[in-house]
Amino acid sequence: MPEPLFDEAAMARIRNLRLNAQRVQRGGARGERLSRQFGAGQEFGAHRQYVQGDDLRRVDWNVYGRLDQLFVKLFELPGQLRVLLVADDAPTMDFGAHSKWLAARRALAAVGLVALHGAERVLACRLSDSKAEVFDGTGESRLLDYFGALATRGAGAVAAPARSLFETRGRDSVLVLASDFQQREPALQLLSDARRAGARAIAVCVHAAEELNPRLDGFTRLQPVAAHDLKLRVDERVLAAYKEELAHWREGTRRAVHGLGAALIELDSADPIEPLIVDLVRAGVVKA
């Protein structure tokens, strides 16, 4: 049985977050907040369970008659935000005492939950998937199950970014990509596609503590993920060289991501999820 992504306390904190997409703020009310302008002839989008304070006029009484539960209707206006959550499922993501893969799934699930709570459309997929999974306002548990069961791809599988994500309504989309950028080309290709489609892109670069500060000493047989073994006598000089190479690599990744008009947030797999949300708020993607 897969490990739960969040505990109850984390779930409560996530529900308090609201999406604040830049384009939605500029073009008028969208989603849940705009749904209060009921009667404007918008297209029905989804249902959401009634909570105290909702306008009773928005209650779908037909559903109530069938299920004996109160649901309110959510209308998808033409400017509704599409949140694209993409997890880099490279084999190198499954690494670290605090798994990078788990950290990436938590981060994307948190963003997805916030988006669903705001009645946005959420599309989730792995970098190697050709088709994304769509989640609407009632899909919280399904979203959690989806990310909870998500696995990395095999060592021989090839990442093929789903370009269909940006074929329609690209300017209403926000791409959140969680990756370690060790196989940089597929991730950068996805960010490039998002830029071309006019979608805003945010890259979350996930690191493991063992990658940032490897604890190696003496004669060591290095066994890189999806690469050949390497015998090396590790000492202070070797570690210094590694950290120097790592700094160059991180700088190169940062430049490449920024060059594609995307924001880059670096996440330590051992860190809690709250700092990531703070970074997203600072980036203007979500607000509490």
Partner 1 sequence: MLEFAQAHYLWLLLLLVAFYVGWLLARRYRKRRVTHAALWQRVAARVVPPAWKRLLRTILTLLVATTMLACVALYAAGLQRSPDEQPAPLVLVIMQDNTVSMRGADRRVQANKRARALLAALGEDDRALLAHFKFGQPLLGQWLQTGADPGPPPPTDFARPDLRALRAALESLPPPPNMPARPAPRRMLVWLGDGDPALPPMQGVQVVAESFGAAARNDAVIRARYTPPARGESQGGIVEAELLSGKDPIIACNGKRLEGRRVELPPILDSDEVTITVREPDALTDDDAISFRVPRSGIRTVALCHPASDGEANPFLKTLIETLLPGREVTTVAVPAAAPIKADLLVADRALPQSFDARALLLFGVALPGDSIGPPVRAEPNLRAPVERTDVGFEVPDLSLVHAREAVPLTQTGLAPLVRHIEGAVLVAASREPRPTLYCGFVPHQSTLLEDPAGRLLLLRFTDMVQAPAVPRVAPLLPAGKPVTLRATRNVKDTLSVAPHDRHLWQDSYRGPAVHLVHGPDGSVDWQVPDQPGQWLLKHGDVGVDMPSLVWFDPVEQALPFAPAGGDAMAAILPPARQSNWRDLLPALLLWLALGLLVLEWCLWLAGVLE
Q: Interface residues with partner 1 (CB under 8 A)?
A: 92, 95, 180, 182, 208, 210-211, 214, 216, 218-228, 230-233, 237-238, 241-242, 245-246, 249
Q: Nearer Cβ to partner 1, position 91 or 139?
A: 91
Query: Which residue reads 């939950």 in tokens?
Result: 113
Report in angstroms the alpha-carbon separations of 179 from 91, 123, 186: 11, 17, 10
User: Residue 168: exposed, middle, or buried by beta-carbon count in 10 A (0-12, 13-18, 19+)?
Assistant: exposed
Which amino acid is present at 118?
Answer: G
Q: How far is the CB of 100 from partner 1 (least distance, A)?
A: 9
Q: How far is the CB of 228 from partner 1 (least distance, A)?
A: 8
Q: Vertex 279, ends 168 and 115: CA angle to 5°? A: 40
Query: Least CB distance from residue 103 to partner 1, whole Å?
Result: 14
If the CB atoms of residues 90 and 280 are measured against partner 1, the closer one turns out to be 90
CA distances from 239 to 95, 247, 271 (A): 19, 12, 23
**To the nearest whole angstrom, how small is the minimum distance from the Cβ of residue 127 to partner 1?**
16
How far, in Å, are 36, 87, 95, 273 from residue 195 at the CA level? 32, 18, 30, 27
| 88 or 120: CB nearest partner 1 | 88
Q: Least Å distance between CB 165 and partner 1?
A: 27
Q: Residue 271's closest CA among 217, 223, 205? A: 205
Q: Which is nearer to partner 1, 100 or 200 (CB)?
A: 100
As measured in angstroms, the least distance from the Cβ of 250 to partner 1 is 10
Q: What is the largest CA-CA distance in the chain?
A: 73
Determine contact, residues 9/277, Cβ cutoff 8 Å.
no
Least separation in angstroms between CB 153 and partner 1:
15
Q: Other C-beta atoms within 10 Å of 226: how many?
A: 12
Cβ proximity to partner 1, 65 vs 218, nearer residue: 218
CB 93 within 8 A of CB 180: yes
- Of 268, 256, 132, give the one whose Cα is nearest residue 187: 256
Smallest distance from partner 1 to CB 148, Å = 23
Cβ proximity to partner 1, 136 vs 180, nearer residue: 180
CB nearer to partner 1: pick between 208 and 276: 208
In which residue are the tokens 């916030």 written?
114
**Structure tokens of 268?**
């330590």
Task: State which residue, 59 or 232, has the beta carbon closest to partner 1.
Answer: 232
